[in-house]
A and B are shown apart, each in its own frame.
Chain A
Amino acid sequence: MVEVRLENVTKKFGRVVALRDINLRFRDGKFTVVLGPSGSGKSTLLYLIAGIYKPTRGRIYFDDKDVTNLPPNKRNVGLVFQNYALYPHMTVYENIAFPLKLRKTPQRKIDEKVHEVAKLLHIEELLDRYPHQLSGGQQQRVALARALVKEPAVLLLDEPLSNLDALLRVKIRAELKKLQEQLGITAIYVTHDQAEAMALADEIIVIHRGVIQQKAPPKKIYEEPANLFVAGFIGNPPTNLLKARLVDGAIELGGSRITIPARLPRDGYIVVGFRPEHASVDAEPLENHASIPGEVYVVEDMGKEKILTIIIGGEMVKVIAPPTAEFKPGDKVYVNIPYRRIMLFDPETGARIEA
């Protein structure tokens, strides 16, 4: 197991800058998730670590060893792809044995290791099948087995669950986390799915347009997003973000004036953010809350909760209400947000303003 370090790494494809001046440390034995929308440069980051791409500038280290110019076959990494990339002309056994065969491992040892890892991933009974005879979930396990069989220093996963159906995805997600803990392997996992990132990660790296937006444990990413992008990307439904005017150091929102215990500029604009699950909808304003009047627009009953869409001063926000809440479209209500749950952002830079 190693610690992976990137120093001032830039990657360009022609004139397109995929990654810009990245400095990162992936901690030894930890599960790090790189989260970003498509085209953010997250897969490029993974392929740089795997050695498939070479950085345009900067260095990459595995512990103290500079691997920047090492080809993939000299790095001892395991890589799992979204489409699994199993070799269609090889059986499951041959697929898993392939990395060991290339290393000229003795046949007896190969046999032992393949069965060991197959047992770990519960695919022992599939060993003599071909990839096209497997379901998506089974193929995914085989791909994982192939990556793990050589005991890689780092396990790299490129959207490994994205081709699975929703139910299976949630199931395998948990197994993956258990497996990583069990093996204590350094894992770097790329995804665009924020729920996956929250569920799996010891640490999340949010990336957007080739630039790191925030690197923090899931809880911190959730509670203290560093900027508008992170706030808007994490959470389902996503954070409500409303542009508001500052009047004499108070926030004017939806026709009401909110004074919060934070030092704010006297005038100008600010972006107010709050999570749907942190606000409540009531008939009356509440004490110690920012209370904004609005009107119920849509009620979605999800069973375990209700998602209310409320119109505040011409903009829509979403608030999660308990399943017992009785609201109907047209109701005049107050959206009450506890002061400490309000997030403020600079509309120009997008950066969070610390209260």
Chain B
Amino acid sequence: MGAERLRSFLTSRRGHLAFFLAPALTLITIFYLVPLILSIYISLTPLKYWQLNRYLTDLSHPLENYYRLFYLVTHHPDIGKVVITTIVFTGLTLVVNVVGGLLLALATYLMEERFSLFYRTLWLLPRMTPIAVYSLLWYYFFHGSRFGILNSILLSLGVIHKPVWWGVDEKLLPWGAWMILVYVNGLVGVSFGMIIFYSALRSIPREQVMAARVDGATTTQLIRYVLIPSIKWHIVFVTVWELLSLLTTYAHIFLLVEWGLIDKWWGTTWALFVFNTAFTAQALDQGLAAAAATVLVAIGLVLGLITLKIMGFKELMIEPRGEL
């Protein structure tokens, strides 16, 4: 009888829906919803040093971690630096990624196909390189000794007379550290925008571009009046996507800070702060880290929604009115 009921459920409309959505829902539940709920729960406990038995059931001061976090942000100078670094890093890298990706896509779209493919592949290299290898590359490049590539070039050109610790030198902070952060992450990030924008540009009917040329458009006018308006929704998508991933990225940054290439606090973003607080020996303060992570999710959600609102996502979802 059980088999019979299962069968009638699977052949019903709801059964079909459940069947096809189940894999995705399962993955989202296991890898996103459950951790999120766990994380929020942990943020309400005083969990530290992974002493689960001792702290995990203690809900006597549920908002304690949030008070601590607020106090740190407002009173601790280093945590203040983390907040500013996060804002500057996310903002600047977002601009670099979206504008850079757009420029690359336009350039590769307008150039001859055989050069275009080569050029696009070139820009994908950073993304294909393992994170540690890629970070190491820039570690050597920006290294503060006279053997650092940038230093050795500038020294031999006579621009500087002694080696510079670009990301650590007090005189260059905070911008020294920020520039390296933006540069290293931007170089990986632009390829995403480039790929999306390039394929979007390629899907514009060829005749529309021809028509614009015949109508008298120069390349600049073509870009401004036809190409960019045609890929507006892709720009919205990439902006939101990059914003959210920049808020949560920390892999490259972690390595560069760890290796001492950039300043510990002017080089730490909120996501890295969460990681360090939870997992490094100095802190191991999982409750506080969970609170910080929860705040980050909330901020990401709000910023994402605001961006969609500003860029008119609703308009995109309205069904066309069709032929009249």
A binding-site residues for B, Cβ under 8 Å: 47, 50-52, 71-73, 75, 77-79, 81-83, 85-90, 98-99, 102-103, 129, 132-135, 146, 150
Contact = CB atoms under 8 A, between A and B. Distances in A.
Given A81-B207, A85-B208, A89-B232, A134 B216 contact: no
Given A132-B322, A133-B324, A52 B210 contact: yes
B215 A102 contact: yes
Interface string B218-255: 10010001100110100000000000000000000000
B216 A103 contact: yes
Contact of A135 (B205, B225, B321, B323): B323
30 contacts: A51-B213, A51-B214, A72-B210, A72-B213, A72-B214, A73-B213, A75-B214, A77-B214, A79-B211, A81-B210, A81-B211, A82-B207, A83-B205, A83-B207, A85-B205, A85-B207, A86-B208, A87-B211, A87-B225, A89-B229, A89-B232, A98-B225, A102-B215, A102-B216, A129-B324, A132-B321, A133-B323, A134-B323, A134-B324, A146-B215
Nearest to B225: A98
B24 to A, nearest CB: 31
B293 to A, nearest CB: 40
Nearest to A71: B213
Contacts of A71: 213
6 nearest A-B pairs in the assembled complex, by CB-CB distance = A85-B207, A99-B215, A85-B211, A73-B216, A102-B216, A72-B213
Q: Which one of B207, B208, B211, B216 has the highest number of Cβ atoms from chain A below 10 Å of its Cβ? A: B211
Contacts of A85: 205, 207-208, 210-211
A134 B214 CA distance: 23
A150 B324 contact: no
Contacts, number: 77
Interface of B: 205, 207-208, 210-218, 221, 225-226, 229-230, 232, 320-324
A189 to B, nearest CB: 16
B275 to A, nearest CB: 43
A85 B230 CA distance: 13
Given A88-B230, A89-B232, A132-B321, A150 B210 contact: no
A334 B324 CA distance: 55
A134 B221 CA distance: 26
Nearest to A103: B216
A102 B320 CA distance: 28
Nearest to B218: A73
Contact of B213 (A52, A88, A90): A52
B173 to A, nearest CB: 45
A73 B214 contact: yes
A132 B320 contact: yes
A300 to B, nearest CB: 35
